[in-house]
Chains A and B, each alone.
Chain A
Amino acid sequence: MDLTLKVWRQDGPGKPGEFREYEAKGISPDSSFLEMLDVVNERLVEAGDVPIEFDHDCREGICGTCGVMINGHPHGDQKGTATCQLHMRKFNDGDRIVIEPWRATGMPVMRDLIVDRSPLDRIIEAGGYISVNTGGAPDANLIPVPKPAAESSMDAAACIGCAACIAACPNSAGQLFTSAKLAHLNLLPQGQPERYARTIAMVETMEEFFGSCTNHGECEEACPKSISIDNIALMNRDYIVAKFKDRRKAGQR
Chain B
Amino acid sequence: MTTLDAKVPAGPIQDKWTNHRFDMKLVNPANKRKYEIIIIGTGLAGASAAATLGELGYNVKVFTYHDSPRRAHSIAAQGGINAAKNYTNDGDSIYRLFYDTVKGGDYRSREANVYRLAEVSNEIIDQCTAQGVPFAREYGGLLDNRSFGGAQVSRTFYARGQTGQQLLLGAYQALARQVSLGNVKLFNRSEMLEVVLHEGRAVGVVVRDLINGEISSHSAHAVVLATGGYCNVFFLSTMAMACNTTAIWRAHRKGAFFANPSYTQIHPTCIPVHDEFQSKLTLMSESLRNDGRIWVPIDPDDTRAANDIPESERDYYLERIYPSFGNLAPRDVSSRAAMRMIDENRGVGPLKNGVYLDFSDAINRLGKDVIEARYGNLFEMYERITDEDPYDVPMRIYPAPHYSMGGLWVDYNLMTNVPGLYAIGEANFSDHGANRLGASALMQGLADGYFVLPYTIADYLADWLNVKPVPTDHEVFKEAEQEVDGRLKQLLSINGTRTVDSFHRELGKIMIEYCGLARSKPGLEKALAEIPALRDEFWKNVRVTGTEDNYNSELQKAGRVADFFELAELMCRDALEREESCGGHFRVEHQTEEGEAKRDDVDQAHVSAWEWKGFNVPQAHHKEPLEFENVALAQRSYK
Contacts and interface: CB of A to CB of B under 8 A. Distances in A.
Interface of A: 11-13, 28, 30-32, 34-35, 38-39, 42, 44-46, 48-51, 53, 55-65, 80-81, 85-87, 89, 110-111, 114, 116-118, 120-121, 124-126, 128-135, 137-141, 143-147, 150, 153-154, 157-158, 160-161, 184-185, 188, 190-191
A181 to B, nearest CB: 8
A157 B546 contact: no
A126 B177 CA distance: 8
Interface of B: 48, 51-52, 55, 66-73, 75-76, 85, 87, 123, 125-132, 134-143, 159-160, 162, 165-166, 169, 172-174, 176-177, 179-180, 186, 188, 211-212, 240-242, 274-275, 277-280, 282-283, 380-381, 384-385, 387, 450-451, 454, 497, 499-502, 543-546, 550-554
Contacts of B176: 121, 124-125, 128-129
Contacts of B550: 11-12, 111
Given A38-B279, A134-B127, A45 B499 contact: yes
B243 to A, nearest CB: 9
Contacts, number: 224
B275 A28 contact: yes
B240 A57 contact: yes
A84 B138 CA distance: 34
A60 B237 CA distance: 12
B137 A64 contact: no
Contact of B551 (A42, A85, A87, A114): A114
Contacts of B132: 129-130, 153, 184-185, 188, 190-191
A60 B282 contact: yes
9 contacts: A31-B275, A38-B501, A53-B552, A63-B240, A86-B384, A125-B176, A125-B180, A132-B174, A137-B129
A60 B545 contact: no
Contacts of A46: 497, 499, 543
A21 B278 CA distance: 24
4 closest residue pairs by CB, A with B: A144-B141, A129-B173, A137-B130, A140-B129
Given A39-B277, A63-B73, A140-B143, A134 B543 contact: no
A92 B345 CA distance: 35
* Most central of B76, B135, B279 by chain A CB within 10 Å: B279
A184 B275 contact: no
B173 A124 contact: yes
Contacts of A80: 380
B551 A111 contact: yes
B141 A57 contact: no
A121 B143 CA distance: 30
A158 B384 contact: no
B501 A184 contact: no
B385 A117 contact: no
Nearest to A112: B551
Given A58-B75, A118-B188, A138 B545 contact: no
Contact of A157 (B125, B166, B242): B166
Contacts of B160: 154, 158
* Most central of A11, A58, A153 by chain B CB within 10 Å: A58
B130 A121 contact: no
A142 B68 CA distance: 33
A60 B142 contact: no
Given A62-B162, A184-B134, A34 B279 contact: yes
Given A134-B55, A143-B130, A62 B180 contact: no
Nearest to A188: B132
A85 B55 contact: no
Contacts of B131: 129-130, 132, 190
Contacts of B544: 45
B278 A35 contact: yes
Given A34-B279, A39-B277, A42-B501, A110 B169 contact: no
B454 A134 contact: yes
Contacts of A137: 123, 126-127, 129-130
Contact of A121 (B68, B274, B278): B68
Nearest to A134: B52
B142 A12 contact: no
A137 B380 CA distance: 35
B71 A147 contact: no
* Most central of B128, B180, B275 by chain A CB within 10 Å: B180
B36 to A, nearest CB: 20
B384 A87 contact: yes
Nearest to A43: B499
Contact of A62 (B75, B128, B242, B384): B75
A128 B141 contact: no
* Most central of A28, A63, A137 by chain B CB within 10 Å: A63
A16 to B, nearest CB: 15
A126 B173 CA distance: 10
Contact of A42 (B278, B282, B499): B499
B87 A51 contact: no
Nearest to B501: A42
